[in-house]
Amino acid sequence: MRPMIPTLHLDPPGNGDWLFEVKYDGFRGILNIQSKDSISLKSRNGNELLPFFPEIKEQILTMINDHKVQLPIKLDGEIVLLRSPNSCEFFELQRRGRMKNQKRIEEASKIRPVKFLVFDLLHSEKKIWADEPYMKRKEELQKFFTAFDLPLEPTPNHPSCLQMIPNHKDWNKVWGYVVNEEGEGVVAKARKSKWEGKRSTSWIKIKNWKRCLCFITAFDSNNDYFHIGVYQDQQVVSIGLFHFGISPKEKKILKEIILKNTINQEGSLHIVNPGICVEVFYLNFHDGQIREPHFHQFMLSSLPEECTLEQFLLDEASLPVNVELTSLDKELWKKPFIQKLDYIRFLRKMSVVILPFLKNRPLTCIRYPHGIFGDSFFQKNRPEYAPSFIQTVPLDQINYILCNDLSSLIWLGNQLALEFHIPYQKWNQVDVNEIVFDLDPPNRDSFPLAIKAARVMKEVFDSLDLHSFIKTSGNKGLQIYLPLPSGYSWEDTSLFTEFIADYLVSNFPEHFTIERLKKNRHGRLYVDYIQHAEGKTIIAPYSLRGNDHALVATPLWWSEVTEDLNPENFTMDVVLKRFQKFGCPFSQYDRVKEIQPFKEVIQFLKKHPEAH
């Protein structure tokens, strides 16, 4: 069965009765379930995909065995690795799809399960839905997902592999989601359209193109591909090649110019000096090459000197247009060498996991206006020159900034706010949002003490059925988080933090202490349970630290907390690659809040005060 394919347009349809869905960058597949012994997930080319993604089949078998699915059923959707609700990691999915070793496939399916995002219902029980209008199919699909308690929208932290793609009436709203999260694009679907097993204008895809200004460097006469590049310090840097988007007439003229001006020939490759500037659309940039490049137009008024790597990287970041950026070449660190543009790009690429932890929390920043080479200062109050989109909340006669959106985050980055410190409560929240233990060894050489404390605490939390998360502090320590359900006071949480600190000190007095004076710690790790209090703050997940190594306060998986763990490994580049490859270790944070069995623990401590 061939899938229905949307037609590519540059702009959304202006007239007609359309609804809009997020387009995800994954592997298209039609899932056909006849029985537990007959399950297939076929690609556009008719290849079977299930062997590469056993987690999907495992969930389907569980649903069948639980008698939750009336068969047969046929669903149309996309296999993805979700990065955020409206974007995904295509290159990591490609890596999964290339695996041949069954053991590696099974391991990968457990480390970071894929999602099968369903957008259409083609067959259920005895009913063929393909000839029904799109809206009717969508309504029946939603009934199906609701009946089996499956997510009605893509949710990275939900354990279900089967999730639904909803539709939206408001184009601007859904396009805003995609742009903010660097998603692939949007599909417009005619409300009354039938499901056709071919390319159709009843479905229109509008891609979230990135644009780059570059110059032609060569032409390959064997395959008709044009090579493109930009300048970095007067050296030509290749960024890829294009074939599509250029008209036959334009291609003919361009080929003639290149062949006349060839300065060197390597086989079929005709090399020219930079001189012909073009604008190219593309989806994303990976391993030094742009993906899905499409020629857009010649830039006859541009000079090759304007085609720089800095401008390319700035444009690639797709930054908010309402934020003015300055001094992007300012050096922030020497080793590793980091400029302001590198930091801004890190914030942009990590924004989908940075912003949820900052949302609605009065923010304390540490700004480094000269990088780490000059003085730094704390900033709590919103400065007078802040743009109008910067939100504030009044607290203790201070107008604290709320960093709730991408524009605010990038503006703070441009102000060189390198450290983001947040309280344990959200604005207007009466109860406590989480408990955090700060495990602070006397120096980096004593980091094994933090590892030991964390592992001991993890055993205690596991014995109490408490869900815990861990991150590096970005300096020399570790920090353990326990998200809390609503309803707990500072008095409640202090009972627990004191109980855990006492447990560590009484059982391992040679390693741990609650002594606040450094001179009296004698090389022991300080368990700072007093720091968890109203008005106190903690470094936010994924915030940089203003230390010599430009380290990041990095969420970890508990399996990483071993003797081999080295906090100095977590630099910006490493953290970004970790996130792209594995996702966020804190992804389940909000999900476990309401199921955290904290009530029983607090009741026990109140009844047995001798325990703390």
Distances (CA, A) of 547 to 175, 243, 506, 544, 568: 39, 46, 33, 9, 11
- With residue 175 as reference, give the H or E element that holds it: helix 171-180
Average pLDDT over residues 562-589: 96
Predicted confidence band of residue 436 (pLDDT cuts 50, 70, 90): very high
Q: What is the pLDDT of residue 68?
A: 73
Query: Contact 77/118 with Cβ under 8 angstroms?
Result: yes
Give start and end residues of each alpha helix (H) in 296-442. Answer: 309-316, 340-358, 406-414
Q: What is the pLDDT of residue 524?
A: 93
User: For the segment 476-507, what is each residue's pLDDT rounded down to a tens digit?
Assistant: 999 999 999 999 999 999 999 999 999 999 99
Average pLDDT over residues 39-55: 96
Q: What is the pLDDT of residue 465?
A: 96
Instruction: For the chain, report the end-to-end CA distance as a whole number of angstroms.
Output: 66
Name the catalytic one among 23, 207, 340, 476: 23
Query: Contact 287/304 with Cβ under 8 angstroms?
Result: no
- Is the pLDDT reported for residue 585 higher than 80? yes
Q: What is the pLDDT of residue 610?
A: 67
- Is the pLDDT reported for residue 340 higher than 80? yes
Query: Contact 580/473 with Cβ under 8 angstroms?
Result: no
Q: What is the pLDDT of residue 612?
A: 58
- Is the pLDDT reported for residue 522 higher than 70? yes
Residue 451 identity: I
CA distance 76 to 43: 10
- Surface-to-core class of residue 243, CB atoms within 10 Å of its CB (0-12 exposed, 13-18 middle, 19+ buried): middle
Q: How many residues does the chain have?
A: 612
- How much of the chain exceeds pLDDT 70, in percent? 100
- Is the pLDDT reported for residue 291 higher than 80? yes
CATH, domain 5-207, list 3.90.110.10, 3.20.20.80, 3.30.460.20, 3.30.470.30: 3.30.470.30
- Is the pLDDT reported for residue 611 higher than 80? no
Predicted confidence band of residue 516 (pLDDT cuts 50, 70, 90): confident
Q: What is the pLDDT of residue 66?
A: 86
Structure tokens at 210: 């990135």
Integer Rg of the chain from CA: 27
DSSP output for 77-109: EEEE-EEETTEE-HHHHHHHHH---HHHHHHHH
Average pLDDT over residues 10-23: 94
Contacts of 222 (CB under 8 A, 6+ apart): 267, 268
Contacts of 609 (CB under 8 A, 6+ apart): none
- Is the pLDDT reported for residue 391 higher than 80? yes
Residue 356 identity: P
Contacts of 168 (CB under 8 A, 6+ apart): 19, 20, 21, 174
Average pLDDT over residues 137-165: 96
User: For the segment 553-574, what is each residue's pLDDT rounded down to a tens digit?
Assistant: 999 999 999 999 999 999 999 9
CA distance 284 to 181: 13
Where does CATH 2.40.50.140 sit in the chain? 210-316
Among all chains, which residue has been given the structure tokens 């085609």? 307
User: For the segment 105-149, what is each residue's pLDDT rounded down to a tens digit?
Assistant: 999 999 999 999 999 999 998 899 999 999 999 999 999 999 999
CA distance 155 to 84: 7
Query: Contact 202/190 with Cβ under 8 angstroms?
Result: yes
Neighbours of 44 (CB within 10 A): 12
Where does CATH 3.30.470.30 sit in the chain? 5-207
Among all chains, which residue has been given the structure tokens 């500072």? 490
User: For the segment 57-101, what is each residue's pLDDT rounded down to a tens digit?
Assistant: 999 999 998 877 889 999 999 999 999 999 999 999 999 999 999
Q: Give how far the C-alpha of residue 86 lies from the chain's centroid of Cα atoms, to the nearest Å.
A: 10
Helix (H, G, I), strand (E, B) or coil at 41: strand
Q: Does domain 210-316 have CATH number 2.40.50.140?
A: yes
Residue 166 DSSP class: P
Distances (CA, A) of 324 to 8, 131, 315, 409, 544: 33, 51, 14, 12, 22
CA-CA-CA-CA torsion sign (497, 498, 501, 507) = negative
Average pLDDT score, the chain: 95
CA-CA-CA-CA torsion sign (421, 423, 428, 432) = positive
Distances (CA, A) of 21 to 115, 171, 259, 447, 604: 17, 9, 45, 48, 49
Q: Which CATH class is domain 434-544+555-607?
A: alpha beta
β-bridge mates for residue 338, sequence order:
333
CA distance 38 to 111: 27
- How much of the chain exceeds pLDDT 90, in percent? 92
> Is 23 tagged catalytic?
yes
CA distance 225 to 242: 6
Query: Contact 293/280 with Cβ under 8 angstroms?
Result: yes
CA distance 228 to 251: 15
Residue 524 DSSP class: P
Query: Contact 76/120 with Cβ under 8 angstroms?
Result: yes
